[in-house]
Amino acid sequence: MRKPCTTYRALAARMIFGLCISWFAAPPAFAVEGPPANLELFQTLSATIGTRIAAQLPKSDSLTVSLLLHPESVSWIVQGPLARSMDKAGGRIVSAGGMVQAECVVSTLNVMYEDVRRDGFLGTQILDRLVTVRISASLIDTKSGLSLLNDVFEESRRDTVDLSSVSRLEEPGIPATHGTIPDGGFFSWFLEPVIMLGGIAVSVYLLFHIRS
């Protein structure tokens, strides 16, 4: 008859072997579609800001709006969403001579990555992403010279993404879409799992060895 100690050791060995196989052979958990790209989030947040700005436009069936954007280096990113938001509110965008002059300054387009960690025991590496858009906006009635709006609007979105997907979320030719990844270090991606597996192996061995 097989001794209990031998049986326990065999079960422990199978469990450790199974953990190793699941770590190295498990398929990625990242969804096919994945999270939206940083540029897409910039435009989504800009559309929300545009809606907030457009809410201050005067109500008129024939309202025209001259939209001025600064600085040129990044304003093209938000131009479409802002213009569409104002158009939905009844303000037809014109190149010049609008009844209202809307001037917007893009002060912040920022991507921040935080807290590199593992998704559960021996899971994939993930991190938090914070995307922020801040726009200073003014609306002026060109006929009367009256200021209709002079304010700063900010919108942000926080989510969690796979570390391996960061390069896909950023646009190579658009610096604003890039962020700095915190250094998880060698311990985070290799030594930590190895040490955890070793600790489990030793604990299981000692448990059943003492019982024997």
The residues spanned by each domain of the chain are 1-30+184-212, 34-181
Dist. CA 9–CA 96, nearest whole Å: 82
Strands 64-70 and 100-118: parallel
Q: In the numeric block, which tokens belong to residue 63?
A: 């309202």
Q: What is the pLDDT of residue 209?
A: 61
3-state secondary structure of 99: coil
> 211: buried, middle or exposed (CB in 10 Å: 19+, 13-18, 0-12)?
exposed
> 78: buried, middle or exposed (CB in 10 Å: 19+, 13-18, 0-12)?
buried
Q: Which residue, 39, 42, 45, is CA-closest to 172?
A: 39
Q: What is the pLDDT of residue 120?
A: 84
pTM of the prediction? Answer: 0.74
pLDDT tens track, the chain, 212 positions:
545 555 555 555 555 555 444 444 444 444 447 899 999 999 999 999 999 999 999 999 999 999 999 999 999 999 999 999 999 999 999 999 999 999 999 999 999 999 999 998 778 999 999 999 999 999 999 999 999 999 999 999 999 999 999 999 999 999 999 999 998 644 455 555 555 566 565 566 566 666 66
Sign of CA dihedral 8, 13, 14, 19: positive
CATH code of the region 34-181: 3.30.160
CA 41, 45, 49: angle at the middle one, nearest 5?
Answer: 165
- Which region holds residue 169: left if phi is over 0, alpha if psi is between -120 and 50, else beta? alpha
Strands 92-94 and 147-162: unpaired
Q: What is the pLDDT of residue 123?
A: 87
Q: What is the pLDDT of residue 207?
A: 63
Place of tokens 């131009």: 79
